[in-house]
Amino acid sequence: MTALPREILICTIARLLDGVRHVAVGASSPMPAAGAMLRRALDDGARPVRLSILGSVEHNFFTNGSAELFDSAGQGRLDAFFLGGGQIDGRANVNLVGVGDYPQAKVRWPGSFGSAYLYFTVPRVILFREEHSPRVLVDKVDFISAPGVSEPDVHRPGGPVALLTSKALFGFDRARVGFALESIHPGHDLDEIRAATGFAFDHAAAPATTPVPDAATLSLLRGRVLDELAETYPAFAAQWRGDLAAMTSEGATA
């Protein structure tokens, strides 16, 4: 069975969530949600994984939306969360405000919302951004919505552990304050990653390749996980099913 690129990302997310008890996902994050659902399915019967997707009816035990999410994080009851950003730099700073000198931004984004609070309180924050380009992964963000690290005297149980893009997976070292390339997704290479990344990062001479899911995991993804995901993200699920149908058709005519 051949894995779609999005399926490799979803399985990578599930590996990054290994050991969590409670993971929360924002309202516009279908792939992180699918990765959390896969983690829950893989751990089924071994240990319970609580999943909270904002905007979902079936996969959300909160009754007061983001207010309860923030309370849960502040009380240490949230193990993992996902953050994206219009810009992310080599210190894991995230910019959700805009491009240019604030407040005269040339491009304006929705805003920081509670990103800084969650970045400080959730111990396993995974930075996720599909686009891997110099305009997103920059040397220095134009505005810091949420800082990647803090001064030693600042109480901060939370922070970034990884950055996942459509091309690669990076781990974040809070002590060294920088990213290290952990693996490159199939179909990409180190020269491409260097050219597409605006910040410096550590890497092995021959970086590992991101693992592809085995047949059993793909079956779980395309069955239980895809069915669960359709409740909250019907358009994404329909597109995924369409891509699988097209891949099957191409294989049959090859």
Question: Residue 88 above 90 pLDDT?
Answer: yes
CA distances from 108 to 85, 111, 145, 235 (A): 12, 8, 13, 26
Mean predicted lDDT score pLDDT of the chain: 94
Q: Which residues of 73-112 are buried (b: 16+ CB within 10 A; e: fewer)?
A: beeeebbbbbbbbbbbbbbbbbbbbbbeeeeeeeeebeeb
The H or E element containing residue 5 is helix 5-16
Question: CB–CB of 52/110 below 8 Å?
Answer: no
Are the CB atoms for 207 and 29 separated by under 8 Å? no
Alpha carbon distance 94, 111 (integer Å): 11
pTM: 0.95
| Separation between Cα atoms, residue 117 and residue 126, nearest integer Å | 15
CA angle 153, 158, 160 (to 5 degrees): 110
Domains located in the chain, CATH noted = 5-253 (3.40.1080.10)
pLDDT at residue 66 above 90? Answer: no
User: Per residue in 161-218, pLDDT tens?
Assistant: 999 999 999 999 999 999 999 999 999 999 999 999 999 999 999 999 999 999 999 9
| Cβ atoms of 149 and 102 closer than 8 Å | no
Q: What is the pLDDT of residues 15-24, one digit of tens each?
A: 999 999 999 9
